[in-house]
Structure 1
Amino acid sequence: MGSSRILNTYIHQLIETSTPQAPAWNIEKIRAGKPNTWNYIDGCMIKALIELYEITGKDVYLDFADRFIDYFVQDDGTIKYYDPKEYNLDNVNAGKTLHQLYAITGKDRYRKAMDVIRGQLEHQPRTREGSFWHKLIYPNQIWLDGLYMAQPFYMQYELSFRDGRACADSIHQFEVVRELMRNERNGLYYHAYDSSRKEFWCDPVTGLSANFWLRAEGWFAMALIDTWELMPASMSGERDVLRRMFVELIDAMLPYQDPDTGMWHQVINLGRIAPNYLETSGSAIFANAIMKGARLGVLDERYYDYGRKAFAGICDTCLSEEDGRLTLDNICLVAGLGNTDHREGTFDYYMREPKVRNDAKGVAPLVLAYIETLRHGKEAG
């Protein structure tokens, strides 16, 4: 089978075995043995399915996405298993699906739910530099992941419903990350920053964590291109800020791309050190971001081939059939810093985190990358 047919089969396999209460792709919930909640992992997958509907026109994807999100959203806009006062940026991510589904279905509950999530950001604690805390339980901290989780939703809400009033705030938060978290020598961004300099994992002078984790770097790249895409031409100066950041980040990543598979390593710049490995989710995120950047004209069209190579490499090396079922392998389950389990951000720490199969943190970006190949084919045709 070609990669398109394989991926279509794989996607159907996942949605046919998933419900809002027990999605097959949320390996964290499955391993924890806990009921499903409103979370960013499902948000990633449902967003990918909505975009798959938009490119293919197949109602099966929209119907599933609508049923899934509708299960959580109440008539008054409140969301099951979501507490805004946790001030967790991860929980903002699924808000993107509300905007997409509201545009398609017109369900008033989705519009109200967007207001609920925007209300979280209104009161989200901030660092002294003006950036959102990643979570209430991670005070004074900026994580690259959080830019993807919150900023595209924030920008879209402001443009759609508030005449762009807080768009400058969103751009400022990107600029803070570039100023504080980018390594000027290699152009890569550190995973996290503690403005208080108190966490055990941070450098006491810079406040930065120690390494460049692939998936966080990828989330940041997607945050840049997804937010850029939402902004109107009237915001040309702000668009240029994000464009420059995106291009320089992709240029910084390309020297670390594996020449054989097109993928990237779990700790990006230490590929020659065992037991570092070519990690699926972050590679798929960059495959998508690069191809999307080329399609939108943010990157020169020649960059498309770098993203396509990563997509093909993942399909060739990490997507396989076993006992009649397809599986996507080499996905880092989770990585973070601090909290109760002493996640110290060393190279050894990123190697300790388990690798799993079929988790949406890898599946959803691969579906988004697949969609970019479909868009490219239509443009070429």
Structure 2
Amino acid sequence: MSSIKTNTLKAAALFVSLAFLSCKTTAQEPAKTVESQKIEISKEAKWSDKMALTLMKRHPEAYMIDNAKAPKWDYVHGLVLFAFEELYKKNPDPRYAAYAKGYTDILIEKDGTIKTYELDKYNIDMIVSGRLLFTQYEKTKDNRYLVAMQTLKKQLEGQPRTSSGGFWHKQMYTNQMWLDGLYMGEPFYAQYTVTFENGKNLNDVAKQFEEIQLHATDPKTGLLYHGWDEKKLMPWANKETGNSPNFWSRALGWYAMALVDALDYFPKDHPKQKELVGYLNNVCSNLAKFQDPKTGLWYQVTDKGGEKGNYLEGSGSSMFAYAFAKGANKGYLPAKYKKLANKAFDGLTTQLMKVDPDGTITITDVCAVAGLGGTPYRDGSYEYYVNERKQDNDPKATGPFILAALELNR
């Protein structure tokens, strides 16, 4: 009898311990996951809200964007969460503001140190997330945000430059300017100098556009090459011009977005304002010639629409839709660009969009990443660009998609 009793007690103890363990496992899961399951996405919602709520549902914490496993100071978060801040201005859903703030608060220490950021790499990609800090500082007056912005400004002050004054893309990419870098650095730089320095460095902001415009523009198409090597030493660089061999739509998208966003901080009477508006008109009028007439989208390699392996690409198309729409809304571009932006947006939502039963949305056919040089070596060839891997809902498409939807009120 006693052995039966003992076994019964053992079984009961095992049951209790298993029940305790299962409770413990559940309790350890992040609380936000429960919240994400509560997110409902209405069919009637605007595209900007649909995409933002999709991202929040799939990535309960903002640092998880791009499937990140741990918090990291990174440019894709700056891009997407800037779009969240712009969305919050139009639709003040407190969840949007909290989502963006969650990212800055997990990465900015009490003393203003930016976790995972390394100033001495002089990587211009790391500047763009600083745009989020203006909003947080303005709302809270918490000094840590100011200190973090000052750190990023310090990077710009020490950023290596070409002999004529253009920022290198990174310390490791010597003497090189990439179109991407204009978006990564200039909108932050322009906002910082206007907010804290009475605009004293706006000429230097304009200088960056002048340099890339002067050196990377193709005289035949009017498009800009992805990268320019001042010393013409890189194997990818043209021995006469220093330019990389192809036009990549996302690089051109970074450039067009850089112009419309930096122009927010140039007063109309600033001597460089008209010049930047001219650059925007140049690049947009030449991009319009390569917009696919059927879908309204752009190809991965911008000027080679019919060639083998080329495809209509989601991030560049989203970026152009945003730049065209904002440019027209602000009066920098003729009104016809709003129509072209709407056509591009129609292409994104009908050709590249998947809608799941729970209302979440996915942009397909997005180039995950592309660059020049490095290891393994990226040669900038046509074959290189069309064979880079694709990633659904890559942040380089989702952020600009939200911004385009807002500018077009779609």
TM-score, normalised relative to structure 1: 0.93
Residue from 161, 178, 189 that aligns with 2:213: 178
CA shift digits 1:69-105 (9 cap, x unpaired):
1111112211011011110000001011111322233
CA shift digits 1:288-319 (9 cap, x unpaired):
00000000000122220101111121011111
8 A Cα contact 2:48 2:406, kept in partner: no
What are structure 1's unaligned runs of at least 5 residues?
none
* 1:121 counterpart = 2:156: yes
Match of 1:241 in 2: 275
Residue from 181, 186, 189 that aligns with 1:151: 186
Residue pairs, 1:277-292, within 5 angstroms: 277-292=311-326
* 1:131 counterpart = 2:166: yes
Residue from 350, 372, 377 that aligns with 1:316: 350
8 A Cα contact 1:21 1:35, kept in partner: no
CA shift digits 1:85-129 (9 cap, x unpaired):
110000001011111322233332212211010011111111112
8 A Cα contact 2:353 2:362, kept in partner: yes
Residue pairs, 1:221-232, within 5 angstroms: 221-232=256-267
Match of 1:364 in 2: 399
Match of 2:29 in 1: none
Residues in 1 aligned to 2:269 and 2:307: alpha-carbon distance in whole angstroms: 47
CA shift digits 1:39-65 (9 cap, x unpaired):
000111110001000011211101111
Q: Give, in angstroms, the shift of residue 322 of structure 1.
A: 4.2
Residues in 1 aligned to 2:140 and 2:100: alpha-carbon distance in whole angstroms: 11
8 A Cα contact 2:183 2:258, kept in partner: yes
Match of 2:231 in 1: 196
Choose 142-151 or 126-135, whichever is displaced more: 126-135
Choose 319-328 or 179-188, whichever is displaced more: 319-328
Residue from 66, 75, 79 that aligns with 1:26: 66
8 A Cα contact 1:20 1:36, kept in partner: no
Residue from 288, 291, 300 that aligns with 1:257: 291
**Number of equivalences:** 368
Q: Give, in angstroms, the shift of residue 36 of structure 1.
A: 3.6
Match of 1:94 in 2: 129
8 A Cα contact 1:20 1:71, kept in partner: no
Q: Give, in angstroms, the shift of residue 330 of structure 1.
A: 0.8
CA shift digits 1:322-380 (9 cap, x unpaired):
46443221110000000111100000000110011111111000000011122xx8xxx
CA shift digits 1:268-294 (9 cap, x unpaired):
000010110000001000000000000
Q: Secondary structure at the match of 1:340?
A: coil
Residues in 2 aligned to 1:3 and 1:337: alpha-carbon distance in whole angstroms: 42
Q: Secondary structure at the match of 2:228?
A: strand
Q: Secondary structure at the match of 1:332?
A: coil
* 1:161 counterpart = 2:196: yes
Residues in 2 aligned to 1:292 and 1:333: alpha-carbon distance in whole angstroms: 25
Q: Secondary structure at the match of 1:193?
A: strand
Residue from 271, 285, 289 that aligns with 2:305: 271
Match of 1:294 in 2: 328
Choose 99-108 or 208-217, whichever is displaced more: 99-108
CA shift digits 1:240-262 (9 cap, x unpaired):
01000000110001111011211
Describe the shift of the 1:323–1:19 C-alpha distance in structure 2 as closer, same or farther (beyond 3 A): closer
Describe the shift of the 1:84–1:3 C-alpha distance in structure 2 as closer, same or farther (beyond 3 A): farther
Match of 2:377 in 1: 342
Q: Secondary structure at the match of 1:362?
A: helix
Q: Secondary structure at the match of 2:355?
A: strand
Describe the shift of the 1:350–1:149 C-alpha distance in structure 2 as closer, same or farther (beyond 3 A): same
Residues in 2 aligned to 1:6 and 1:178: alpha-carbon distance in whole angstroms: 34
* Equivalent position amino acid for 1:296 in 2: K
8 A Cα contact 1:73 1:110, kept in partner: yes
Residues in 2 aligned to 1:323 and 1:297: alpha-carbon distance in whole angstroms: 39
Match of 1:330 in 2: 365
8 A Cα contact 2:179 2:226, kept in partner: yes
Residues in 2 aligned to 1:58 and 1:281: alpha-carbon distance in whole angstroms: 26
Q: Secondary structure at the match of 1:320?
A: strand
CA shift digits 1:152-171 (9 cap, x unpaired):
11111111111222211111
Describe the shift of the 1:312–1:4 C-alpha distance in structure 2 as closer, same or farther (beyond 3 A): farther
Larger Rg: 2
* Equivalent position amino acid for 1:285 in 2: M
Residues in 2 aligned to 1:266 and 1:17: alpha-carbon distance in whole angstroms: 27
Q: Give, in angstroms, the shift of residue 8 of structure 1.
A: 2.5
Residues in 2 aligned to 1:193 and 1:287: alpha-carbon distance in whole angstroms: 25
Q: Give, in angstroms, the shift of residue 233 of structure 1.
A: 2.9
Write out the 4+ residue segments of structure 1 that deviate beyond 6 Å after TM superposition.
none
- Alignment identity in percent? 37
Residues in 1 aligned to 2:94 and 2:61: alpha-carbon distance in whole angstroms: 18
